[in-house]
Amino acid sequence: MIEIIPAIDIISGKCVRLTKGDYTSTKVYNENPLEIAKAFEAHGIKRLHLVDLDGAKAQHIVNYHILEQIATKTSLTIDFGGGLKTEEDLKIAFSSGAKMITGGSIAIKNPELFKSWITTYGNEKIILGADVKNEKIAVSGWYETSNCNLITFLNEYTQVGISKVICTDIEKDGMLQGTATDLYKKILNNFPNLHLIASGGVSQWNDIDALENINVPSVIVGKAIYEGNITLSEIEKYIIK
């Protein structure tokens, strides 16, 4: 059974979604992210992917108060990402209630620091973020595309202990046009022991089934929930079946 992880993306304290990571495409779905998180919890969901989009743009943690609010008022296990660039950012995230953090840009721009986090906190708490465009790693809130190839990137970090990766195909993100199954097959073929968390493009339940059929262990679902294409009741039935 594939693990379904709903996402909450935060801008100015509000729950939003972007299209292909474009901040000009921001659509606000709820003024109160805690309300959304409580709805997830009420339907049997255990995990939450929380992204600080203000932090991603500012290059430091911004919306930690939202993280703290959700962590203290729900029992959701939260992985938190967006703008985590320093040891201080990391300490703020964990002290605000994150059980795991996701690092993407930092893994490209300051690999030694990111590797030290893996050593210090362990691979259960540090998730590698691999956001890709044409199989090249994108950084800084997807404003920049690096020259680093996805497979090379994953190989480097699996060798130093990374066991979980969130991989987002930017071209799919927020488009509601299906997921990058071919890309995920390639990752799983190269790294069969990696816990792959697919992200981007889920539009309907068939997309989740397609990922489950290729043995992707977890999937992040965002816009499909907010647009009503996949309901929380459907997720609840799937969880308890």
Residue (of 6, 7, 14) closest to 33 by Cα position: 14
Q: How far is CA 241 from the centre of its chain?
A: 25
Residue (of 176, 239, 195) closest to 102 by Cα position: 195
Rounded distance between C-alpha atoms, residue 120 and residue 75, angstroms? 25
Structure tokens at 56: 């991603």
Among 52, 54, 131, 169, the one annotated catalytic: 131
Structure tokens at 227: 């647009």
Rounded distance between C-alpha atoms, residue 9 and residue 33, angstroms? 9
Among 9, 52, 89, 207, the one annotated catalytic: 9
Report the sign of the C-alpha dihedral through residues 8, 177, 57, 99, in that order.
positive
9: annotated active-site residue: yes
Catalytic residue positions, numbered: 9, 131
